[in-house]
């Protein structure tokens, strides 16, 4: 395997230094890096002046669509997009066809990730059989499978039955698992199209009230307190949800939460275009909600940034608003959006970026070889990022099989220049390394 000497990269908020990646690990730092590199035969030197070295990013919330909807995305195309975004590990959500509710299906997805080689894929198991919310899926079998599932979610559907949710929370305690809840009361959102508020009233679109999310968040916090288990709140989007999670953490409960890039940058004002590209679940909220979610990320109430990368075939988005599918892609732009919304506004340091986009998601997913600091001996999962670059996002240039990005035409800061997975370059010069 080729070794890489990364020269003059700033590790997070630190001063420029050299990093040697060899034999799949971070072999040396600083002056030792050049000394040891000189002893190796196959070494590629990378001038990283002006670049920031981040630990490889970890996404706890990715939809790869395979098996079943390969017209929208495959494990190979989705993980290639992830690598372009600086990710070395993604958790593949369970709403595939067939659903990832058995050991056989999660192992299939796990091996597809290994074959693709762009980043490590960790399947998320379904909580209920077929995502129907009626009967627990094979949680134990998935946990003991080769895929070693530790996160379970019916994402796309809410585990609405409180008895089933309680049983799931109790069951996963046996192997230190986590239930990741899609917080949406279906009775309060039936026929809803966008956030309920001034904009929905003006546009004449059925509103999606904040309380539909907050009611489930509150209920599940009470359930996880009762059974002393691990609960993760997917794509938290309202100020009320932030308050509920903040209170739960103050009481020492095992509750974590994520925010998506689009929920810290975009608002329901985007719906005025009637472009289904902005139709997402949960919906884009008000500026007040965006501000509250940003503050939640900044003070640690919200633990991580999860992309909720949701690719769709063109015909599912190139239509009128009411018929459009919910969801938007985000793996390739997540780091840039976080820079714009959090770093450039002074709410985040680069250490905070590493915490919310690498360390904490890996911790929640119980990953062993990801989400570790750039230190000697740790796995060589590294991303090199140029924070001073700017780029105008073009839908047709996305590496995902789908192009439903909400940022098309926007100028975003930053560019991932290189990604290394266990010491192997998956991206160099902002371009995927094939083969």
pLDDT digits (tens, 9 = 90+) for 289-298: 999 999 999 9
Mean pLDDT for all residues in the chain: 97
| Binding site feature residues for Zn(2+) | 61, 63, 155, 182, 235, 308
Give 276-336 as a DSSP string.
GGG--SSPP--HHHHHHHHHHHHTTSS-EE---B----GGGTSS-GGGSPS-B--TTTHHH
pLDDT digits (tens, 9 = 90+) for 175-197: 999 999 999 999 999 999 999 99
Q: What is the pLDDT of residue 129?
A: 98
Q: What is the pLDDT of residue 435?
A: 76
- Residue 130 · residue 154 · CB < 8 Å: no
pLDDT digits (tens, 9 = 90+) for 105-142: 999 999 999 999 999 999 999 999 999 999 999 999 99
Confidence category of residue 280, pLDDT binned at 50, 70, 90: very high
- Residue 292 · residue 341 · CB < 8 Å: no
- Active-site residues, by number, are 308
Helix and strand numbers, DSSP H then E, in the chain: 12, 19
How far is 296 from 233, CA to CA, in rounded Å?
13
pLDDT digits (tens, 9 = 90+) for 196-235: 999 999 999 999 999 999 999 999 999 999 999 999 999 9
Confidence category of residue 302, pLDDT binned at 50, 70, 90: very high
Q: What is the pLDDT of residue 1?
A: 85
Please count the other Cβ atoms lying within 10 Å of the Cβ belonging to residue 160. 16
Please count the other Cβ atoms lying within 10 Å of the Cβ belonging to residue 369. 15
Q: What is the pLDDT of residue 416?
A: 98
% of the chain at pLDDT higher than 70: 100
Q: What is the pLDDT of residue 91?
A: 98
Domains in the chain: ranges and CATH: 3-52+377-432 (2.30.40.10), 56-364 (3.20.20.140)
Q: Is the pTM of this model over 0.85?
A: yes
Residue 239 has pLDDT above 80, yes or no: yes
| Binding site feature residues for substrate | 63-65, 95, 281, 312, 326-327
How large is the average pLDDT for residues 145-174? 98
Q: What is the pLDDT of residue 32?
A: 96
Q: What is the pLDDT of residue 331?
A: 98
pLDDT digits (tens, 9 = 90+) for 22-39: 999 999 999 999 999 999
């Amino acid at each position: 395997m080729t070794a890489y000497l990364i020269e003059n990269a700033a590790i997070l908020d630190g001063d420029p230094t050299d990093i040697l990646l060899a034999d799949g690990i971070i072999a040396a730092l600083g002056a030792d890096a050049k000394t040891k590199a000189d002893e190796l035969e196959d070494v590629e030197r990378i001038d990283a002046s002006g670049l920031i070295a981040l630990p490889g990013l970890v996404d706890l919330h990715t939809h790869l669509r395979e098996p079943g909807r390969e017209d929208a995305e495959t494990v190979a195309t989705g993980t290639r997009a992830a690598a372009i975004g600086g990710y070395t590990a993604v958790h593949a959500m369970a709403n595939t066809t067939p659903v990832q509710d058995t050991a056989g299906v999660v192992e299939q997805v796990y091996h597809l990730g290994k074959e693709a080689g762009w980043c490590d894929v960790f399947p998320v198991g379904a909580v209920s059989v077929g995502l129907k919310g009626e009967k627990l899926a094979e949680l134990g079998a998935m946990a003991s499978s080769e895929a070693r599932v530790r996160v379970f979610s019916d994402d796309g559907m809410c585990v609405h039955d409180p008895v089933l949710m309680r049983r799931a929370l109790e069951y996963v305690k046996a192997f230190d698992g986590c239930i990741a809840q899609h917080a949406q009361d279906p009775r309060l959102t039936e026929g809803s199209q966008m956030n309920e508020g001034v904009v929905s009233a003006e546009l004449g679109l059925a509103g999606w009230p904040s309380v539909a999310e907050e009611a489930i968040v509150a209920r599940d916090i009470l359930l996880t307190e009762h059974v002393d288990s691990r609960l993760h709140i997917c794509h938290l989007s309202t100020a009320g949800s932030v308050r509920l999670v903040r209170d739960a953490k103050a009481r020492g409960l095992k509750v974590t939460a994520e925010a998506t890039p689009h929920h810290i940058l975009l608002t329901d004002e985007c719906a005025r275009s009637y472009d289904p590209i902005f139709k997402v679940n949960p919906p884009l909220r008000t500026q007040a909600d965006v501000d509250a979610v940003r503050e939640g990320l900044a003070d640690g109430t919200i633990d991580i940034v999860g992309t909720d990368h949701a690719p769709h075939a063109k015909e599912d988005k190139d239509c009128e608003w009411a018929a459009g599918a919910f969801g938007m892609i985000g793996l390739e732009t997540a780091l840039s959006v976080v820079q714009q919304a959090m770093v450039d506004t002074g709410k985040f340091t680069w250490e905070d970026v590493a915490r919310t986009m690498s360390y904490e998601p890996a911790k929640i997913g119980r990953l062993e070889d990801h989400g570790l600091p750039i230190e000697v001996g740790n796995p060589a999962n590294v991303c090199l990022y140029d924070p001073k670059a700017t780029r105008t996002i073009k839908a047709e240039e996305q590496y995902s099989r789908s192009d439903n990005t909400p940022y098309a035409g926007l100028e975003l800061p930053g560019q991932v220049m290189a990604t290394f997975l266990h010491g192997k370059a998956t991206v160099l010069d902002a371009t995927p390394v094939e083969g």
